Amino acid sequence: MLKVIKNRLEQGYRTSKYPKEPINLYKRFRGLPKVDNDCDGALVQRCADACPQEAIDAVTKQIDLGRCVFCGLCETLSEGKFVCFTQNFEMGTASRDDLFTCGDLPALAEHSKKHFKKLFGRSLQLRQISAGGCNACEADINVLNTPFFDLSRFGIQFVASPRHADGIHVTGPISKNMRQATLSTYEAVPSPKVVIASGACAISGGPFYGSDEIVGDLNSLIPVDLYIPGCPPHPLTTLHALLNYFK
């Protein structure tokens, strides 16, 4: 018993003040990329060719955050002259098109569907579906339940049964072997329901794009309401997206 109290005192209060107070992530963290539109076309082309995810459009100079895995190669290659990754982790969008960006994203809160705010603003229960990814997305969703993030203080919870859920949160490129289970879980959620695609895999197939063992993007299976980019999305990216879209 004494040990419990001693540890409790040592641990103290650890819950973050975000979103009331901003959080600064370490400068090496690769968040929202910022593109320099005046960059030399040849350098842009070189970055586009080298991009393992083929996420860079050399003509429009846009980066597709739905494909990008934030590996930082374009920043290294261009020495920051074409792409610079900022520490801004607020990257969720309400449409797939908005993920094609030069570094500006529309304010998510203004693009959310109003009836979702009314329905789920005070209480949101989500069923998570892991569908063919690498388990990094899942790991960083679980983190939201630790004391630092303490997701449930916002009235948001991940629940066991789809029957108890208001929507599904999907990670992974939907392997063919998870296609039916994903659909069945979706169907088991009562309407009205929300669909969240989280991570490069669920949005575009991620690192596994082109594989014939995957569906590749959730939206081709079920209409997606909220996109959360990243590989995996930082827990704060997810938290920001959930709060702004539903609150």
Partner 1 sequence: MAELLEIKNNERVQRAAIPHLEFADFRQELLDFAVAGGQVVQLFAYQDSGLLKLLAVLRNDKLYVAGCDAPDTFASLTVESEKFHMFEREIGEQYGLEPKGHPWLKMVRYHANYTGKKDLFGNDYSQDIPGNYPYFTVDGETVHEVAVGPVHAGIIEPGHFRFQCCGERVFHLEIQLGYQHRGVEKLLQSVPFKRLPIIAETIAGDTTIGHSLCQAQAIESLACLKIDEGAGIVRSIALELERIANHVGDLGALSLDAAFNPPAAYFGRIRGDYLNLSQILSGNRFGRGLVRPGGVTKIMGDEQKGLLIDKLTELTPQVEHVNDLIFSAPSVLARFENTGTVNYADAEKLGLVGYAGRACGLAYDARVAFPTEVYAGLPANTNHKTDGDVCSRAMVRREEIIHSTTLINTLLGKTEEAKSYIPEIPKLAPTSFVVSINEGWRGEVSHCILTDTDGKILRYKVKDPSFHNWIGLALALRDEGISDFPICNKSFNLSYCGFDL
Residue ranges in contact with partner 1 by CB under 8 A: 3-4, 6-8, 10-11, 14, 25-26, 28-30, 50-53, 69-73, 76-77, 85, 128-143, 145-148, 158, 160-161, 172-173, 175-181, 185, 206-208, 210-214, 231-232, 234-235
Q: Tokens 């992530």 belong to which residue?
A: 25
What phi, psi does 57 have (nearest 5°)? -95, 110
Closest distance between partner 1 and the C-beta of residue 132, in Å?
5
Q: What sign for the dihedral angle of Cα 50, 74, 88, 234? A: positive
Closest distance between partner 1 and the C-beta of residue 111, in Å?
26
Closest distance between partner 1 and the C-beta of residue 86, in Å?
12
Contact predicate 30/237, CB 8 Å: no
Q: Among residues 230, 204, 183, 188, which one has the least CA distance to residue 89? A: 230
Structure tokens at 67: 């494909």
126 versus 226: smaller Cβ distance to partner 1 = 126
* CA-only gyration radius of the chain, Å: 19
Closest distance between partner 1 and the C-beta of residue 201, in Å?
8
Contact predicate 201/133, CB 8 Å: yes
109 versus 181: smaller Cβ distance to partner 1 = 181
145 versus 219: smaller Cβ distance to partner 1 = 145
Closest distance between partner 1 and the C-beta of residue 83, in Å?
13
Report the alpha-carbon distance of residue 172 to residue 245 in Å, rounded: 21
112 versus 233: smaller Cβ distance to partner 1 = 233
Closest distance between partner 1 and the C-beta of residue 27, in Å?
9
Side chain identity, residue 65 = L
Side chain identity, residue 118 = K
111 versus 209: smaller Cβ distance to partner 1 = 209
84 versus 109: smaller Cβ distance to partner 1 = 84
